[in-house]
Amino acid sequence: MTTYDAVYQKWQQDPKAFWANAAELIDWDKKWDEVLDESNPPFYRWFKGGVLNTCYNALDRHVENGRSEQLALIYDSPITNSIQKFTYAELRDEVAKLAGVLASFGVEKGDRVIIYMPMVAEAAMAMLACARIGAVHSVVFGGFASKELAVRIDDAKPKVIMSASCGIEPTRLVPYKPLLDEAINLSTHKPSKTLILQRPQMAAELQSDRDVDWAEAMKTAVSHPCVPVEATDPLYILYTSGTTGMPKGIVRDNGGHAVALRWSMPNVFNTNPGDVYWAGSDVGWVVGHSYIVYAPLLTGCTTILFEGKPVGTPDAGVYWRVISDHSVKTFFTAPTAIRAIKREDPNGLEIKKYDLSTFEALFVAGERCDPDTLLWSEKQLQIPVIDHWWQTESGWPIVANCLGIEQLPVKPGSACKPVPGYDVQVLRPDGTQAGPNEIGDIMVKLPLPPSCLPTLWNNDKRFIDAYLSFHEGYYSTADAGFFDQDGYLSIMGRTDDIINVAGHRLSTGGMEEVLAAHSDVAECAVVGVADSLKGEVPVGFMVLKSGVDRDHQEIVSECIQMVREQIGPVAAFKQALVVQRLPKTRSGKILRGTIKKIAEKQEYRMPATIDDPAILTEIHDDLKTIGYG
Ligand code: COA
Ligand code: AMP
């Protein structure tokens, strides 16, 4: 039996004992009454009755236990040419003061705070300050537009919003404050205060006594102690794309989250207290929450917060420069980023410029890692390159090669085996288990392990409808895939209308809602089409209302602009077409899957229920005009 099998079996034999043991790595104000409360299925709660504070576990306890002078956070920003370093003591002090600012605004345990910020150290501080006082943060990615922010404001109903004057993209400054003002204007719920970090690159106008200058507030702030919360109290809400324009508010609790993340660092990532860990993501995504902020700090590591891009800030060597400068041991990024680097530096010349002797493993996730990208990275870096699969909903890896338990042989194209804690199964539509190499729905048997979503924010019904109503007793991941004969899982794609653009999770349904609102559009479809850099990009198809006699290109440009303005530039919605008709089944369902296959030049079977097969030829011809099909 391999070590991995032994650990997996140990979990299987007694999950509660397994997680109770893992929970010993967390400091509790009061131990739990029950490891797992199963009294109200399908709602399961971990560490019920336990009391702790996540910020205490991430900062204060390390200061108290000999790590006060160790670096906790390094902010490395090639885009502004600056680096800032914070020891655990310094970070704790900054966060305690920021928590004092929030408290002075009347923020209390259970209140929500939205954080809409670029990748600056203060974004991580903001999250930790909320955790310190038991407030529930909800970080909104900076690449989302006002309307998306407004939807989240109305759902989370924050007392305060923390933001900054601007974000910095390679070709432009992104003024955040006007976007924030517009969002508050659009939303029904209004925050009582906004705290604005003025960045030197662009100042924001603070209009009323609602807007408070971050630096000014910090000058007179009184440090706030950690507020004990229940293990089952929410730590944060993170909105993620669903099948409609209304995102799902993923809830993360305090206790289970801390336990699972702390366990994952040594066991999945082979990273221990004192090591330097870098996740090249954004705090607006789950990877940023879990592996820029919480897991490394809960573990007593040094974490890196990077403001830049894999290429162009200034070059394709920047990732290797950061790893070398800060002695990074473990690095986590999206395959897209590696593809971008590989495109500019195919022979890895930039890699050879740096001393990467501390670099032990590269982890990739967020989208499917194509074998070429994995093999190229292995060849260039000569270290293990580990694909692993998870979701915003889980908050930590579901399937991985658990490097800290045992390094299993890598099979390119597969994310490896289920992480202890997850009973992953591939099911057929009738609920029976698929055989080896047979594609089916990837499901996780309930109860889910600690850190996974206990529900959706204020929406138990949607939680059940969206995740638990497919096969009784199972959570649906909405991914399709297969186990091979050795128990390795390959993830082949989503079963819903979510697409993955440069590692960013987006809803084509949400984009369709925007297009459908154009006054000339009668109906529309958006499909994700394979892209050699971003994995997938959205392409829109619009059928115009009868009698519309305008220039098609003008309408296309307006539609592209609408998606950019209403969802945000991150949607990367740059290609759309006016078509005469959309292919549908006789019952009226648009054949998006078939359109995707035509665009990707894949073989497709003529759907038996198609309304009019001639439409497929029309769509093929239309796609050729924009370089597809
Ligand atoms: N604030 C404002 N705008 C943002 C933004 C932010 N935080 N992040 C991205 N955008 C904008 C970009 O400026 C770009 O706008 P444009 O259409 O005007 O050029 C658009 O959103 C798309 O951005 P991006 O996805 O970054 O694409 P890109 O073409 O600029 O860069 C890559 C391509 C591959 C370099 C980039 O996608 C990348 O670094 N990917 C890695 C993603 C990642 O780490 N994801 C984390 C998941 S684990
Ligand atoms: P997110 O919630 O943004 O992390 O996106 C989760 C989705 O991204 C998953 O449901 C998958 O569709 C996809 N994904 C994440 N990691 C991988 C991976 N390693 N391989 C294939 N798909 C992945």
Which domain does 302 fall in, by range?
Answer: 4-308+388-481
Distance CA 488, CA 165 (A): 46
Both tokens of residue 110? Answer: 């259970």
Report the separation in Å between the CA atom of 263 and the middle of ligand 2, taken as the mean of its atom positions.
Answer: 21
Asked whether residue 506 falls in the same domain as residue 465, the answer is no
Buried b (16+ CB within 10 A) or exposed e, 560-574: bebbbebbbbbbbbe
Both tokens of residue 199? Answer: 């960045």
Q: What pLDDT does residue 2 have? A: 83
Distance CA 393, CA 467 (A): 10
Q: Where are the alpha helices (DSSP H) in 429-568?
A: 460-463, 508-516, 552-566
Distance CA 232, CA 235 (A): 9
375 occurs within a structural domain: no
The CA–CA distances, whole Å, from 245 to 16, 460, 504, 507 equal: 38, 18, 15, 7
Distance CA 330, CA 320 (A): 12
Asked whether residue 595 falls in the same domain as residue 475, the answer is no
State pLDDT tens for residues 539-575: 999 999 999 999 999 999 999 999 999 999 999 999 9
* Cβ 334 under 6 angstroms from ligand 1: yes
Both tokens of residue 290? Answer: 């879990």
Q: What pLDDT does residue 613 have? A: 83
Residue where a domain terminates, one of 414, 448, 481: 481
Show the low-confidence residues of the chain (pLDDT under 70).
none
Distance CA 149, CA 544 (A): 29
Instruction: With CA atoms as reference, report the closest residue to 310 among 293, 334, 286.
Output: 334
Asked whether residue 69 falls in the same domain as residue 183, the answer is yes
120 occurs within a structural domain: yes
Asked whether residue 195 falls in the same domain as residue 122, the answer is yes
Q: What pLDDT does residue 586 have? A: 86
Q: Which amino acid is at 450?
A: P
130 occurs within a structural domain: yes
Q: Mention every residue, 6+ apart, whose C-beta is less than 8 A from residue 420.
A: 7, 8, 10, 11, 18, 267, 402, 405
Label residue 625 exposed, middle or buried (CB < 10 Å: 0-12, 13-18, 19+).
exposed
Determine the residue of 309, 563, 573 to mutate for testing ligand 1's pocket, defined as the one with the most ligand atoms within 8 A of the Cβ atom. Answer: 309
Q: Which amino acid is at 488?
A: Y
Report the separation in Å between the CA atom of 524 and the middle of ligand 1, taken as the mean of its atom positions.
Answer: 26
- pTM, to two decimals: 0.96
Both tokens of residue 427? Answer: 């099911």
Q: What pLDDT does residue 36 have? A: 98
Instruction: Specify the pairing of strand 160-164 against strand 193-197.
Output: parallel
Asked whether residue 235 falls in the same domain as residue 96, the answer is yes
Q: Given phi > 0 = left and psi -120 to 50 = alpha, else beta, which region is 86? A: beta
Q: Which ligand 2 atom is at minimum distance from the Cα of 477?
A: 10
Q: Which amino acid is at 356?
A: L
Q: What pLDDT does residue 246 have? A: 87
Instruction: With CA atoms as reference, report the closest residue to 302 among 72, 121, 120, 87.
Output: 72
319 occurs within a structural domain: no
Q: What pLDDT does residue 124 have? A: 98
* Cβ 489 under 6 angstroms from ligand 1: no
- For 389, which DSSP code? B
What CATH number should be reported for the domain holding residue 283? Answer: 3.40.50.12780
Q: What pLDDT does residue 245 have? A: 75
Asked whether residue 474 falls in the same domain as residue 508, the answer is no
Asked whether residue 526 falls in the same domain as residue 561, the answer is yes
Total domains, the chain: 2
Residue showing tokens 């390390």: 62
State the angle between helix axes of 255-267 and 15-22 in degrees (0 to 180), rounded to the nearest 10.
Answer: 80
Asked whether residue 452 falls in the same domain as residue 601, the answer is no
Asked whether residue 523 falls in the same domain as residue 469, the answer is no
Asked whether residue 574 falls in the same domain as residue 510, the answer is yes
Determine the residue of 333, 416, 475, 491 to mutate for testing ligand 2's pocket, defined as the one with the most ligand atoms within 8 A of the Cβ atom. Answer: 491
Asked whether residue 548 falls in the same domain as residue 597, the answer is yes
Q: What pLDDT does residue 242 have? A: 79
What CATH number should be reported for the domain holding residue 580? Answer: 3.30.300.30
127 occurs within a structural domain: yes
- For 548, which DSSP code? -
Asked whether residue 515 falls in the same domain as residue 465, the answer is no
Query: Strands, DSSP E only, in 88-124?
Result: 112-116
